[in-house]
Amino acid sequence: MGATGPLEIIPLGGLGEIGMNLLVYGYDNKLLIVDCGLAFPGGDAPGVDVIIPDVGFLIENRDRVVGFVLTHGHEDHMGAMPYVWPNIEGPIYGSAMTLGLLRGKFREHRLLEKATLIEVGNRQPFQVGPFNLCMIQVSHSIVDSSALAIKTPLGTVIHTGDFKIDHTPVDQRPTDLYSFARHGESGVLALLSDSTNINRRGATVTEQVVSEALSKVFAKATGLIIVATFASNIQRIQQIFDAAAGVGRKVVISGRSMQTNIEVARGLKFLRIPEGMILDVRSFSHHERKEMVVLSSGSQGEHNSSLSRIAHGEHRDIDIRPGDTVVLSSRFIPGNEQTIWGLVNRMSRAGAEVIHEYNLPEIHVSGHAPQEDLKLMLALTRPKYFIPIHGEIRHLHSHRALAIQMGVAPEHALVVENGQRVTIGEDGMAIDGQVPSGRVFVDGKGIGDISDIVLRDRRHLSEDGLVVVVLVVEKSTGNILQRPELLTRGVIYEEDNRLLLEQAKESVEEALRLGPRGMDFAEDEGAGPMELAQRAVRRFFKRKLGRRPAVIPLVMEM
């Protein structure tokens, strides 16, 4: 069958940023969605639960969508599915573990009965619209991860997803180099490759070094051992169980996500845990501390996570005592360092020895390919065209430079950002227009109702606080009947600043007495008591404290 038009590649998330991965392939007027992830908010989005990609383009073109394909079960690759899928629908393809995790999410959101989930195995071709796909096994920090070979009449595209090349992984499922090489021999039109660790030199360090490090730490420990890791890192969880069994300890699982993922992985035979190895967390106090390992979620110090509650002494069953050992078997993700160090300090103050990647680097190995792995991927696939994916702009440019070093023609290596439409056809590869893209904030049950203005107000409140001015006026005349009252939150401690509050009240009274002209509000001569009080309070706190609190006037008419 001959080609019927160009191949479109449209990223809606994950390019120019870490997380929120969503990439669309278009061919013959059909759209295939690969991954649908979320991102977690930083300090610039107070109160927001998660951030998902803006999929307005897909909603407008839902009739063209032929399905979703998920490369693996991490939140940044499938976490947005419960929010995005109901607006688009379509069958969902993925590996056993990926769909096992997705089922839990869809069940929680009451979507499971409506969705069609289709499990596919590696090296098993399947057709989705005009796209013939095949999953290729890769190593990553979650089991059952896959890259994709996407065949169209124009040629084959390799989409790596997240990967690394570990020849001796814990799950004994190494990256399928043979399949990549076979596609490279047949001819690869384009390679889209993970850029997360492009600036790390060398090759992947095998997970076996983590097993050895855990075994040594466990052998030395004399009190309770607490290990925190990502709940999705099933290989690491297996290593922790193996190390515990090696020293005759039982394991207590703490954290809802940890419990859920372990249940899914055991059901799918990705975890091998001997019977009687797991203790109920409620029986913690009935066992000797030196006989237990606590496996906890919350390695990034997330608020209200299991580890955070343990560190703050707020966990119902588990506490930290002198002589205990705490292991953070995960990377300090950029942006989380301050929170994690705060937990480390708190646990150290409680008398625990805290082990992490900075004092024992072997306690964690990244799930992403460093430079030598990325070179090998390029060498095996030998693509005509190259697009770096999954990373900030600096990562993408560094990966493009590496591809050129490995023989890709400079005009065939393209850095693309979210919303840009790339076309590959007989005339080559080029950026050909733009589609709407961006971020959508999820806050509680609200999806997309948090605008930039709302976030600005939240940041304003968090940085400068709030002052409420209460005025009592006569309804018929508008005259003030009693002195203004001021209530502050996050501006000053009122008990220690009564004189300052009195001065603030006097400034409001003066503004009301002088009126707009007397207060230099001539541009708004119609300003009433509410506007006058608001402006007077703003001026007062700016002049006295250099602060700009949000001011809310309340007028009570009598």
Active site residues: 194, 368
**Which residue has 């065209």 as its token pair?**
385
Residue 401 in tokens? 């430079």
Q: Are 144 and 117 a contacting pair, CB within 8 Å?
A: no
Residue 421 in tokens? 């439409």
What letter represents residue 3's amino acid? A
Q: Among 466, 502, 496, 497, which Cα is nearest to 484's?
A: 502
Tell me the Cα Rg of the chain: 29
**Which residue has 């930290």 as its token pair?**
320
Distance, in Å, from the CA atom of 433 to the CA atom of 421, rounded to the nearest integer, reads 5
Residue 366 in tokens? 């990244």
469 CB contacts (<8 Å, ≥6 apart)? 484, 485, 486, 508, 533, 534, 537, 551, 552, 553, 554
Half-sphere exposure of 246 (CA within 13 A, CB side): 17
**β pairing state of 65-69 and 446-447:** unpaired
Distance, in Å, from the CA atom of 291 to the CA atom of 247, rounded to the nearest integer, reads 9
Cα distances from 72 to residues 160, 334, 354, 370, 448, in angstroms, run 11, 22, 31, 19, 26
Largest CA distance in the chain: 88
Q: If DSSP states are collapsed to H, E and C, what string results for 182-208?
A: HHHHHCEEEEEEECCCCCCCCCCCCCH
Cβ neighbours around 495 below 10 Å, total: 6
User: Hey, which residues does 138 pair with through a beta bridge?
Assistant: 145
